[in-house]
Amino acid sequence: MRELASEPSAPSLLAHRLTDDATLEALEPWQAAELAKFVAANKAHLDPWIPLGHVVHDEETAERFLRAYAERAARDDGRIYAIRSAGELVGGTVFRRFEYDRRTCEIGVWLAASATGRGLITLACRAMIDWAVHARGMLRVEWQANPANTASIAVARRLGMTREGVLRSASRLGDRQQDVEMWSILAEEWSSPQRLP
Ligand SMILES: CC(C)(COP(=O)(O)OP(=O)(O)OC[C@H]1O[C@@H](n2cnc3c(N)ncnc32)[C@H](O)[C@@H]1OP(=O)(O)O)[C@@H](O)C(=O)NCCC(=O)NCCS
In-domain check, residue 10: no
Quick: pLDDT tens for 79-130: 999 999 999 999 999 999 999 999 999 999 999 999 999 999 999 999 999 9
**Structural domain total, the chain:** 1
In order, the DSSP letters of 116-163 are TTSSHHHHHHHHHHHIIIIIT--SEEEEEE-TT-HHHHHHHHHTT-EE
Q: Which residues line ligand 1 (CB under 6 A)?
A: 45-46, 49-50, 109-111, 116-122, 145, 149, 151-152, 154-155, 158, 197
Greatest CA separation found in the chain?
46
Give bridge partners of residue 110 from the DSSP assignment: 92
Q: What is the mean pLDDT of the chain?
A: 93
Whole-number Å distance, alpha carbon 4 to ligand 1 midpoint, is 32
Instruction: Write the CATH number for 159.
Output: 3.40.630.30
Confidence of residue 9 (pLDDT cuts 50, 70, 90): low
Q: Which of 38, 28, 125, 121 is nearest to 80 (CA)?
A: 28
In ligand 1, the atom with minimum distance to the C-alpha of 146 is 48
- pTM here is 0.93
Residue 26's domain comprises 15-189
Give the per-residue pLDDT at 99: 98
Paired with 24 in beta bridges are 16, 83
The per-residue b/e assignment along 23-46, b for 16 or more CB within 10 angstroms, e otherwise, is bbbebbbebbebbbebbeebeebb
Q: Check if the beta carbon of residue 32 is closer than 8 Å to that of residue 66.
A: yes
pLDDT value of residue 44: 97
Upper half-sphere CA count for residue 124 (Cβ side, 13 Å): 29
Closest ligand 1 atom to the C-alpha of 149?
A: 44
Q: Whose alpha carbon is nearest atom 40 of ligand 1?
A: 110
Residues 131-172 have pLDDT tens digits of: 999 999 999 999 999 999 999 999 999 999 999 999 999 999
Alpha helices in the chain (DSSP H): 32-46, 52-55, 59-75, 120-130, 150-158
Residue nearest to atom 41 of ligand 1 (CA): 46
**Which atom of ligand 1 approaches the CA of 116 most closely?**
7
Asked if the structure places residue 147 within a domain, the reply is yes
pLDDT for the residue numbered 13: 87
Q: What is the pLDDT of residues 58-85, one digit of tens each?
A: 999 999 999 999 999 999 999 999 999 9
Ligand 1: residue whose CA is nearest its atom 35: 117
- pLDDT score of 196 more than 90: no
Q: Quick check: helix, strand or coil at residue 10?
A: coil
